Amino acid sequence: MNEPRSPLVLVIGSVNIDHVVVTDAFPTPGQTILGRTAHVTLGGKGANQAVAAASSGEVRTAMLARVGDDVEADRARAGLVARGVDVHGVITVSDAETGTAWITVAPGDNAIIVVPGANFRWPSEDDPTGGAGAEAAVVLAQLEIPLDVVQRAAAACRGRFLLNAAPAAELPDELISLCDVLIVNEHEQAALAGQSDAEQAREPAAVREAHAALRGRGAKAVITTLGGSGAIVTDTDGTTTALPAIPADVVDTTGAGDAFTGVFAARLAAGDSLLEAARLGIAAGSLAVRTPGAQQHHVDLDTLRAMAGTTGRD
Ligand code: RIB
């Protein structure tokens, strides 16, 4: 008799090569400053989330992406494979370059410019998941690929569709209404909910208000991640819960939201409740900020549960 297969997390999104400079402060427009160090590493919100999902165990993770016909693509594919991600859906676009991100890391924060390259070169076929969306327990997307591809992937999803609405953008109600869980930070929440000030958007009352508005537009559940302040989760029944952060000595915040999202998606697929999955996501984010880069941190379920103070039987 065949063993039952573990649930599938299908991540559709970006693969980037991250060019990182570490500085003491962000330059202002027109200013030249000296950096401390620079390095090139693996990134892309989609790839980072796929790595986090696969590393946390108990699920199969497959990535759907477009990369260039270059050595960077080979490196990115190898990185995904090494972390247990199925890359059969990572397709080479012959006349494009693999996406790049240009990242400044300064104490406590980062600033990123993405040049999408091949990430924006998807064909216009109806189902960008090629049928896999019907098999996946969770389909997870972000906004570093064309919006119409995200929309068609959401439509092809027969399990739960999760959207990490990053980078910040306004979205049509048609897409929001397909989201089983919409995951944002305060900037993305502000952009979606028409809140003008991202600092004020972090306030619990503002988060609740935005979640109510987004649920009113059709999202079934909404999560706002708040970095060092944890996350606020509004569940499918409208109950809102503030989850605390897990303190960490911060080295690099790049990819912390991706670690949260990837682990959250994997745990939902594995059968955890929304709150339990979010607690483990927060633990993953806390691990991520302790190491440089967006994929270097090591995530395993026992460590995450120990950090989150959960048993797996809650
Ligand atoms: O979320 C962090 C990621 O954003 C980086 O890895 C970079 O590639 C950009 O996509």
Q: Write the pLDDT tens digit of every residue in 268-301.
A: 999 999 999 999 999 999 999 999 889 987 889 9
Rounded-to-integer distance, Cα 166 and Cα 147, Å: 11
Question: What does the mean pLDDT of the chain come to?
Answer: 95
Question: What atom of ligand 1 comes closest to residue 100's alpha carbon?
Answer: 8
Ligand 1 in contact with 44 (CB < 6 A)?
A: yes
| 1 pLDDT above the threshold of 60 | no
Ligand 1 in contact with 235 (CB < 6 A)?
A: no
pLDDT band at 311 (very low <50, low <70, confident <90, very high): low
> Ligand 1 centroid vs 43 CA: distance in angstroms?
5
Ligand 1 in contact with 101 (CB < 6 A)?
A: yes
> Ligand 1 centroid vs 253 CA: distance in angstroms?
11
Ligand 1 in contact with 188 (CB < 6 A)?
A: no
The two tokens of residue 217 are 């537009």
Q: CB neighbours of 308 closer than 8 A, spacing ≥ 6?
A: 246, 279, 280, 282, 283
What are the backbone angles phi and psi of residue 31, rounded to the nearest 5°? Answer: -95, 145
With CA atoms as reference, report the closest residue to 145 among 121, 173, 126.
Answer: 121
Radius of gyration of the CA atoms of the chain, in A: 18
Helix 45-55 / helix 71-82 crossing angle, nearest 10 deg? 20
Tens of pLDDT, residues 12-27: 999 999 999 999 999 9
Tens of pLDDT, residues 39-95: 999 999 999 999 999 999 899 999 999 999 999 999 999 999 999 999 999 999 999
pLDDT band at 2 (very low <50, low <70, confident <90, very high): low
| 231 pLDDT above the threshold of 80 | yes
Question: What atom of ligand 1 comes closest to residue 166's alpha carbon?
Answer: 1
- What is the domain class of 8-13+45-96+120-308 according to CATH? alpha beta
Of residues 104 and 108, more confidence is placed in 104
> Ligand 1 centroid vs 5 CA: distance in angstroms?
31
With CA atoms as reference, report the closest residue to 266 among 56, 27, 62, 43.
Answer: 56
Q: Would you state the pLDDT for residue 109?
A: 86
Rounded-to-integer distance, Cα 120 and Cα 115, Å: 10
The alpha carbon dihedral of 262, 230, 150, 160 has a sign of positive
Ligand 1 in contact with 272 (CB < 6 A)?
A: no
The H or E element spanning position 280 is helix 274-288
- Amino acid letter, residue 12: I
Three-class SS state of 160: strand
| Residue with CA closest to ligand 1 atom 6 | 43
| 312 pLDDT above the threshold of 60 | no
Rounded-to-integer distance, Cα 289 and Cα 287, Å: 6
What is the residue whose two structure tokens read 């991640």? 225
Please give the average per-residue pLDDT across 247-276, as a whole number. 96
Q: Are 232 and 204 in contact (CB under 8 A)?
A: yes
pLDDT band at 263 (very low <50, low <70, confident <90, very high): very high
Rounded-to-integer distance, Cα 210 and Cα 77, Å: 37
| Residue with CA closest to ligand 1 atom 10 | 44
Beta strands in 74-176 (DSSP E): 85-93, 99-106, 109-115, 138-141, 160-164
Question: What atom of ligand 1 comes closest to residue 144's alpha carbon?
Answer: 10
Percent of the chain clearing pLDDT 90 (strictly above): 89
Catalytic residues: 258
Q: Are 307 and 230 in contact (CB under 8 A)?
A: no
